[in-house]
Structure 1
Amino acid sequence: MDRQTNPSSWWVSITSMCDNGDNESEDDGLDSEDDLRSLCSSDENCGSRRSNKQYNPRCNFSEFKFVLGMEFGSVELLRGALKRVFHKKQQRVCLCNKFYRECKGQMSDNKSFRVNTLVDVHNCGIVFNSQHVTVNWLANHFLDEFRLNPNMDYATFKEKTFKTKYSQVKRHKFYRARNKAKKILEGSVSEQFAILEDYCKQLLATNPRSTAKIQTKLVDRKRIFERCYICLKACKDGFINGCRPIIGLDGCFLKGYYKGILKTTIGIDGTNSIFPIAYAIAAKENTNSWKWFLEFLKEDLAINDPTKYTFISDKQKDLENAVETLFGGAGVRFCVRHLHSNFKKENPDILLKQMLWPATNATTEAEFERRMQELKDFDEAAYT
């Protein structure tokens, strides 16, 4: 019995054939590059011909489209193309699992994939929390934004992506992506430690007569970083020729992947502004590391008579011992902010705080004595 033909399907097929015929006329009758190939002889393997639909990962994705017969060298390339199609437009688009499942077909070499069935029309609805928006993709997609604003916070990111498909990115995923982008732009911390010696050599080459010292130790035939000291020539000359004989010393903890202590020393110039002198990085804050730091500082600043200098610190015991050992006879003062941190534990009264700071700002001895007497009259226990 003869099969009945669906008129609508027949008309669609005729229209498609006509459209293809128009395209062929525009291309001078050539469907593809395969039309220029010679016929295979009996001793040739015709199945080894290359397809003109092989996927190129370096193609321009603004005009990329999946087509039937497109071949991918690996499943990773196929997945990457699917994700790039999903992300190439700023509006929300659909990339459901059905599309991925039905468009791929493994080839005979068990490595390559070909698009055998293409389901390009969907009614799945909008996907707000897509699994394809991964940390790696966010880091690479927003790499330029992170380059311009490496400390971008989550609120700023949400504001930038309010009306895009990235608006549902969670806070923890954003910060992981930011750290990933920072690693791409600046390199990992371990890579930076590996080029620290080259950095010091370049610093000495561009800043003659500066000081850059690195101390390492051998562990299993590998050099392990211990300490680093840097003092620029301009900072040496600036302190010796234009600063008061006051040296501030302090250290703070590093909170990166590799822990440590950042040691700094500053001076005070003629306008009462802070003037950096030198800095160092060490594994621990102890007397030995402070002595190592201050020995180089003493040599760089040519301090032959310590009695002419005054050192200010936060009453850190190891630092006090190192200063006493290397700069015996020098004046020693303590930072009022650290003193007040200890002071307010037992004296949280606001009025006492208001009486303490005017005493520290006194510029004459008489005014200082008067302020301290007022503090003593108000609370003798706090005075002592």
Structure 2
Amino acid sequence: MDLELTDEQKLLGETVDQLLEKRYTPNFRLDLTRGEGWSRDLWKQYAELGLLGLPFDEQYGGAGMGFDELAVAMESFGRALVLEPYFATVVLGGALIANAGSPEQKAAILPGVAAGETVLAFAYAEAGSRYSLTDIATTATPAGDGWTVSGEKIAVLAGDTADQVVVSAKTPSGDIGLFLVAGADVQRDGYTMQDGQRGADLLFADAPAIALGEPADALEVIESVLDTATAALCAEAVGAMDRMLWMTVDYMKTRVQFGKPIAVFQALQHRAANMYVSLEQARSLALLAKLAVQSDDATQRRTMIRAAKIGVDNAARHVGQEAIQLHGGIGMTMEYPVGHYFKRVTVIAHTFGDSDTLVQEVGAAGGLVTAE
């Protein structure tokens, strides 16, 4: 098995990195958080590069590529700390439509996503549901040829600007179904989240909806998409850690104390070396998650990805804490980017399950290594 990136994948990563290095300066990102929250202009450039249709079939305007290419893009986005709703639109909303939607629904929505014309969001979390996908109160009720959805969802990524919202709701039969609701038919309370990305609390009050595919139990599809999304977050976290490490090393070379750059002090060199070890461990675990995505065994896939994320989250906490401490007071300021990277990896560590939850789930599945 070849674990190295192909030439095409390397070129993809270099292309995205070059674009973001030119555009995503700390001041540019800070200005974005004061406006709509992300750049429509960059969103169009992502579409022109084919990033918005990367995992979708060519017949729906996509590039027909797989998770390997998606992981390359996510690592680049993590390195630049982008604010555009790529994760919400492509990794979550687009994947749900690609996996659960009918051919007609895919043809109607995915080309718009690939072209940068449609922003998607996935509304699944509710107050009190914590990380459960089934403990929800939102309901879907048949209404004529369609459905209506009623309930509240919280912390919906890109929920304030989404053109279409994919929402999970209970059907009269008690199953968990997926439904498409137009953004204009939802009451939205938008806000900036802790990591600078945009989110919203959504209120569905008999909102007109269309069942995504068959309105039967969609839990298996949701879990599969969230597995892939979790692996994508591992790749993004690696990109963020990579940037935090080298920002810290560069700072240590320029910060002078006692007449010398602090990089010459052996104790600080050891701390930077340990950061590098954590980064490389996380990179290996992100690779494990990427390989697990390809598994046909849902239980094995989920266990491997959750175990990988536990390690990635622990590594990110170590790298982030050391980066802040080695920068000193400047690392805590809004104007300096390292603290924003730490916020992002901290939010990633609490997305789809925190460490305690993931450890319990991996343990309940028997762990990664089973006794013969």
TM-score scaled by structure 2?
0.19
TM-score scaled by structure 1?
0.19
By relative contact order (CA 8 Å, sep 6+), the higher-ranking structure is 2
> Which structure has more helix as a fraction of its residues?
2
Which has the higher Rg, Structure 1 or Structure 2? 1
